[in-house]
Amino acid sequence: MNTLHTDTLFQNTFSPQPGITVRYIKIPAIVDLIFCTPPDPRYKTMANLSFGPNNFKLAFLSTEELATVNGFKAQKKQVEWICGRFSLKTLVKETLDSTIPLENIQISYQEKGAPFLNAYPDIPISLSHSGDYTAVSLGQNRRTTMGIDIEQIGKMPGTFFMKTAFTPREIHHMTQTAHEIFRHWTLKEAFLKYIKMGFNENLHMVEIIGEEIFHQKKKQRLNSWSRTIEDQYILSIVADPHI
C-alpha cells in the first residue's frame, strides 16, 4: 500500500494571479504513487515498455492514451508523458469537476502542438517537464491565455546556443550567469506556448529584455513570473493580465 499522501504530493501548488493555478511535482514522487512496479532506476537510458491498465495503482489513462504512450520509443519519454498527464488531470479534477473520472479527462493538441481539454476547449492549459520535475498550469478564465515552462539549470551555454536562442539585444541586456540565461529561456518558451506556436515561431522574433517581452519588435502587455526551485530549476509563466 502506498503511503505517499496526495496532499504532500500536491503541496507545490500556487496561483500567480487570480484564475490561474500552477503546480510542479517531482516525477519520482508521482512514479512512487501511481506505478504498481516502479520503472528501473535506469529508465532514462532504456528503451520503451508496453503499459496497460494493470501497471498502475489507479485508473487515469484512457485506452487511446495508453496506445499513445506505448508508441514512444524511449522509456524516459513514456514516464515523463505519463507523469505530466497525471499532474494535469488531477489539477483539472480538483479545479473544474471533482466528479469526473481521471481517465475521462481527455487532452488533445492543436495543429501546431498546443494542448487543450476536449471537454473544456476554452479553458487554457499548459504543460512542461525537465529533469526530475513536471509542471502544469490551468486557467479558470476563458479569456486568459497562458504558457508555462520549466528547465533544469545547466552549465553556461556556449556561443552557438546563445546566438541561436537569443538576439544580440537580448544578450547585451542579459546578466551572463547560468541562472539568468535559463530564466530568459524559460520565459521565451513560456511565451511561445502562450501564442500557441511553440518552436514553429522563429526564436529571434521573441525577445526578453529585463522583465519585458517583445514579439516581432512589439512590446507585449503581459504578466510574467519566474520561480527558482531547489536552486536547480527555473519555472516561468506568461499570461494575460488579470481582468
Instruction: Tell me the pLDDT band of 2, cut-offs 50, 70 and 90.
Output: very low
Convert the pLDDT of each residue in 74-111 to its tens digit: 999 999 999 999 999 999 999 999 999 999 999 999 98
pLDDT at 3 over 60: no
Single pTM value for the model: 0.92
Residue ranges of the alpha helices (H) in 16-74? 27-34, 63-70
Hey, what amino acid is at 106? Answer: Q
CA pair distance 22, 99, nearest whole angstrom? 21
CA pair distance 183, 87, nearest whole angstrom? 23
pLDDT at 178 over 60: yes
CATH topology (fold) of 6-122: Ribosomal Protein L22; Chain A (3.90.470)
Radius of gyration (C-alpha) of the chain in whole angstroms: 18
C-alpha grid cell for residue 137? 498550469
pLDDT at 7 over 70: no
Contact 47, 20 (CB under 8 A): no
- What mean pLDDT comes out for the span 151-171? 96
Q: 158-191 in b/e burial notation, b at 16+ Cβ within 10 A?
A: eeeebeebbbeebeeebeeeeeebbbbbbbbbbb
Q: Where are the domains of the chain?
A: 6-122, 149-239
- Beta-strand (E) ranges in 132-189? 133-139, 146-152
pLDDT at 1 over 60: no
- What mean pLDDT comes out for the span 165-191? 96
Q: Are 6-122 and 149-239 the same fold in CATH?
A: yes
- 50 three-state secondary structure: coil
Instruction: Tell me the pLDDT band of 13, cut-offs 50, 70 and 90.
Output: very high
Instruction: Tell me the pLDDT band of 6, cut-offs 50, 70 and 90.
Output: low
Q: Which CATH number fits domain 149-239: 3.40.1160.10, 3.90.470.20, 3.20.20.70, 3.40.50.300?
A: 3.90.470.20
Q: How many Cα atoms are found within 13 Å in the side-chain-facing hemisphere of 134? A: 25
Contact 174, 165 (CB under 8 A): no
Residue with cell 478564465: 141
